[in-house]
Structures are given as C-alpha cells and as structure tokens.
Amino acid sequence: MISKRSFSQTALKRFLKKPQFNVKSIVNDLPQYRESIAKRQLVAGAGLLEGLQNLPEAYETIRGLNHKIALVQGQRKSLEAEIKNDRSKIEVRASEIKSLKSQYQLISKELDLAELKVTDMCSSLPNLVSPNSPATEPQIVHWINPQDSYEPDAKRDHVNIMVEKGLVDFQTASNVSGTSWFYLLNEGAELEQALVSYALKQAKEAGFQVCIPPSIVRNEVIDSCGFRPRDMNNEQQIYHINDTSLGLTATAEIALAGLGINKVMDLSKGPRSVVGVSRSYRAEAGARGKDTKGLYRVHEFTKVELFVWAKPEESTRLLEKLKDLQIDIVTSLGLSAKVLNMPANDLGAPAYKKYDIEAWMPGRGSFGEITSSSNCLDYQSRRLNTRFKNELTGKPEYVHTLNGTAMAVPRVILALIENFYCPTTGKITIPEPLRPFMNNRTCIE
C-alpha cells in the first residue's frame, strides 16, 4: 500500500512490555466473560469461548510450575547454606546443586511457555459489558433539539446540493483515489476547518490539552487498543502498510493512547485529558454497498478525538461527562439528534460501555451516527502498560481509559447541509457557533 522504503525496519522491534493480566480475577469471572463474548457477537467468538474454557486449567498449570520452582529454589538455598556453614561438603553437594539448577531451567522454560499461552488467551478476550448496557437494541437516553416529526426529503440530499454548489468533488476523487474518497472544495473545505476549530475550542474550555498525533503507528499498538483485524461485523478497519509493522490509524484514539505506553502517570490532581486532531483511515468504508453514497462512509476523513486517562473510581462519572460535552456541541450546532446507550453487539472488544449520538439526516432519510464515547476500563492500559501511582498504597495500578468523538467532520457536514439547506432560496444556513470561523458569514449562497 505504502512504500516500505519510507520506513526503517530496524526501528520496529517490539517495545511494549508483556501485558500483566489478573488471571485469577478472569477465572473467577468466567460466566461474565462468556456472556460478554456471546453478547458482542464477535466473529471469533467460538474460538474465544474455547480458549476461555481452557483458561482455568492453564492457570492451574502455571500455579503448579511456580510451586515446583519454589521447591527447587528452597532446596538449592538449603544446600548453599549447608555448604556455607561447612565448606567440606562442597564436593558432596556440588552434583545436587547442579541437578537442581538443571531442574530450575527446565521448569522455567516450561513456565515461560505456559505463561505465554495464558497471556495470549487473556489478550484475545473482549472487555466485560456494563450491566447497564442494553442487550441487543440501542436505548434512547436523551433527545437533542427534538422535532415534531422526521420526514425524509430527497431535495435535501447532501450529494446533489454540495456538487451543485461546488463544495465537493466525488468524481475526480474517484478517478484519482477510488470510490469512497472525496475532495472538499471552497466553502466545503472552510466548513471543515470551522468545525475543527470549534470542536477544539469547546474541548479546551472543558479542560482538554490539544495534541496533533501521528496517523501511522505500530501494529502492536493498534492491536493493544482493541482494533484487531475483522473485529466487528467482519470488516477490516485498519490499513496495514505492506512490508512494515505499521498501520494507518482508524481514529486518533490509537495514537493518543500511545502517549501512555510504559508510563506511570500522575493523576493526583485529576484525570489527564487530551484532544487530538488527525486524519483517520477506514479500510472497508462502505463495504458491501452500505452507505456508499456521499460523505457518510469514506476511507479518509478529519476527526477530532477526546481521550482521557483516569483512576478506576472516576471512569463511570467521566463517561457521562464526555457524553455531556458531546451533547453540548451537537446542541449548539442546532442538529436534531438522539443519544443512545449502545448494546453489547455494537461495543467491539475494548469498550465496557458506549454512548452514540445519531443526528437526523433528512436527505438520507434516517438518523446517522456522528459521535461515540466509550469507557474501556483497564482493557487498553493493561496492554499498553499505562499505570498511575495510588496515593494511598504508594503502588502503581492500571488506569482506566475513555475516548469520545468531538467532531467526525464529514458526517457533521452532511448533517448540517441536509438540515440547513433551504430548497426555496438555495442557501445553506451556517450555525451561529461556526460563523466566527467563516468570516462571520451567515450562509453559503
């Protein structure tokens, strides 16, 4: 896909530490994990259930090997102490010590393999599911700018409007790059910049620090964040770069999570929150003919992403705070939308609980997702080795990570065009919060 000559292979050696899972806790929670796998309807569900079934035995194997090592080490120390007290026994005990060393090496090798097997089993497991998440259908928890009725209107189709006004060019992009790519032009491009600037403004006022992350990251980081190949709906989300260990990020969440790799964060003054702007890439946008028309599903787009590291006891509250910030942004843009508590079969692997906001898009004749926010508990932090120092115990513990969309630009542009276009005048009203970023214009002629 992208030339391997641009990257140094020597720089791509694995740098993540082996994940440290609480295997005892997972074994004790086997019914909850079985339920999580079943509810999420993951493609690899059958294999995951089989691995989960074998986990208790594998865990007991590790415990048994650790016990054997402890016995061998105890015998060895006893012999060494005996020799220390009586040097005349060196020759008599030397062969015994040598034998114990050999036993230790053999058991250690067996233990390493057993631990690797268990780590692989635990790494492949999805997160647990919040008991407050619905089973199979989204639950509406809030309406934003509700309307009396929602009627499809083909005259408001964003594709026709934007092409006619010279705001987008799909045809040339198709010739240059392929289907599901686009050029934003003129006020269309200005609208993108306005949305990014407005989202950053709102996020900064909410206490988020601004970050411009890389859009190419190591595959091991992508996997650790839970973006595994064909993770949901049998769709490949990630563009992997041939002949390298790198991939293009599907969201800034991946690179932002990487800021915490192998670190112990100081959360004594509260959670750490960053907002990142990046280009995002989706390998199977519009797969199997679904939503292939226009801006709803595209291969490359600009996205403003929110990311939070928090103490475990704070993550439930902070998910609600992320959701409320998203509601404020959507409300201020004047879009009519519904806030959804998402079911387990829409959570993917890392999320424990997730909210989506779907805006009304009259030209499409349906509601469409424009934001998402998730609490991933310690799913990502265990895999990325991100911890914080517990002030009470003085020991490091794994943080909880949360993520949310501040602005998925193409879909919001779609919603704005279809809602604020007037078929009579041909004008598109610009929402008031965006006007300062568009030379104080009130509309697109």
pLDDT at 328: 98
Contact 430, 441 (CB under 8 A): yes
pLDDT at 11: 42
pLDDT at 57: 94
Nearest CA to 386 among 397, 394, 377, 375?
397
Domains belonging to the chain, first-starting first, are 21-124 (1.10.287), 139-444 (3.30.930.10)
Show pLDDT as tens, one digit a residue, over the chain (445 residues).
Answer: 443 333 333 344 567 888 999 999 999 999 999 999 999 888 777 888 988 999 999 999 999 999 999 999 999 888 878 777 776 666 667 788 888 999 999 999 999 999 999 999 999 999 999 999 998 899 999 999 999 999 999 999 999 999 999 999 999 999 999 999 999 999 999 999 999 999 999 999 999 999 999 999 999 999 999 986 444 455 567 999 999 999 999 999 999 999 999 999 999 999 999 999 999 999 876 554 556 689 999 999 999 999 999 999 999 999 999 999 999 999 999 999 999 999 999 998 999 999 999 999 999 999 999 999 999 999 999 999 999 999 988 999 999 999 999 999 999 999 999 999 999 999 999 999 999 999 999 999 8
Contacts of 409 (CB under 8 A, 6+ apart): 192, 195, 196, 301, 302, 303, 304
Task: Read off the pLDDT of residues 47-73 as tens digits, 9 standing for 90 and up.
Answer: 889 889 999 999 999 999 999 999 999
Contact 327, 335 (CB under 8 A): no
Rounded Cα–Cα distance for residues 435 and 417 (Å): 15
Annotated binding site for L-serine: 251, 282, 305, 403
Annotated binding site: 251, 282-284, 298-301, 305, 369-372, 403
pTM exceeding 0.85 = yes
Annotated binding site for ATP: 282-284, 298-301, 369-372
Rounded Cα–Cα distance for residues 308 and 318 (Å): 8
pLDDT at 96: 84
3-state secondary structure the chain: CCCHHHCCHHHHCCCCCCCCCCHHHHHHCHHHHHHHHHHHCCCCHHHHHHHHHHHHHHHHHHHHHHHHHHHHHHHHHHHHHHHHHCHHHHHHHHHHHHHHHHHHHHHHHHHHHHHHHHHHHHHHCCCCCCCCCCCCCCEEEEEECCCCCCCCCHHHCHHHHHHHCCCEEHHHHHHHCCCCCCEECCHHHHHHHHHHHHHHHHHHHCCCEEECCCCEEEHHHHHHCCCCCCCECCECCCEECCCCCEEECCCHHHHHHHHHCCEEECCCCCCEEEEEEEEEECCCCCHHHCCCCCCCCCCEEEEEEEEEEECHHHHHHHHHHHHHHHHHHHHHCCCCEEEEECCHHHCCCCCCEEEEEEEEECCCCEEEEEEEEEECCCHHHHHHCEEEECCCCCCEEECEEEEEEEEEHHHHHHHHHHHHECCCCCCEECCHHHHHHCCCCCEEC
Task: Sheet with 139-144: list strands edge to edge.
Answer: 139-144, 337-341, 353-361, 366-375, 400-408, 300-310, 272-281, 209-211
